[in-house]
A = this chain, B = another copy of it.
Amino acid sequence: MNQATTALLDADLIVAEDVISIDESIEARYRELDEQSIVLLARQQPVATDLRTIVAALRISVDLQRMGVLARHVAEVARQRHPSCAVADSMRDTIRSMGEVAQRIIAKARGVIISKDAQAALALTANDDEMDLLHHELYRRLLSESYEPDARTVVDITLIGRFYERFADHAVSVARRVAYIAGEGALD
């Protein structure tokens, strides 16, 4: 998503293509993870924490796969609009901040997966609130009376805003599912 934000703000076609090709390798790993989870369920007949871990992994893999798709969607908007930039000057700072929050939240989600720290997992929600605020800010700017964008720009920015917001939602889901492994909360 970091690269997708660069592709979008710099109207950089090479970075955009790179994000799109990275997503394909995420798809392959997603299927690998599914297969490994199912083999473990069949062969090890896990219970308690082991079972919760594999069930959570089956959900987390979907989240990570969707996050890859959402980053690709952002890069696709950059590619479609190239050599123009899809983001007007008045919205660059908000989009850049959304990219930064996305980067922070995925770094934390990664940390939570490794540490299995339920408290850190729950703390991730604060970053999601930050993303929601930026998302509202983006729409406020888009709908401000002083700004009269063409319809195409409004469509692009609306979708981009939604992609970042959903990206953050999935990162929070990943964290919540790690908390579930530790015995806190529902699988969700």
Q: Which residues of A contact B (CB under 8 A)?
A: 31, 34, 37-38, 41-42, 45, 47-48, 51-52, 55, 58-59, 62, 139, 142-143, 147-149, 151-152, 154-155, 158-159, 162, 186-188
Contact (Cβ within 8 A) A47 B42? yes
A-B residue pairs, 8 tightest by C-beta:
A154-B154, A158-B158, A45-B45, A155-B158, A34-B187, A151-B154, A143-B151, A42-B47
Complex alpha-carbon distance, A187 and B155, angstroms: 33
Note all chain B residues with C-beta closer than 8 A to A45: 45
Q: Main SS of the interface on chain A?
A: helix
Assembled-state Cα–Cα distance A149/B62 (Å): 37
Q: How far is the CA of A139 from the CA of B51 in the complex (A)?
A: 45
**Which residues of B sit under 8 angstroms from A58, Cβ to Cβ?**
55, 58-59
Cβ–Cβ contact A38 & B62, under 8 A: no
Residues in B neighbouring A155, C-beta threshold 8 A: 139, 142-143, 154, 158
**Max chain B Cβ within 10 angstroms of own Cβ: one of A31, A41, A154:** A154
> From residue A70, how far is it (CB to closest CB) to chain B in Å?
12
Closest to A143 in B: B151
Q: How far is the CA of A154 from the CA of B62 in the complex (A)?
A: 30
Whole-angstrom CA separation of A142 from B153 in the bound complex: 12
If A55-B41, A62-B59 touch, whether A151 touches B149 (CB-CB below 8 Å) is yes
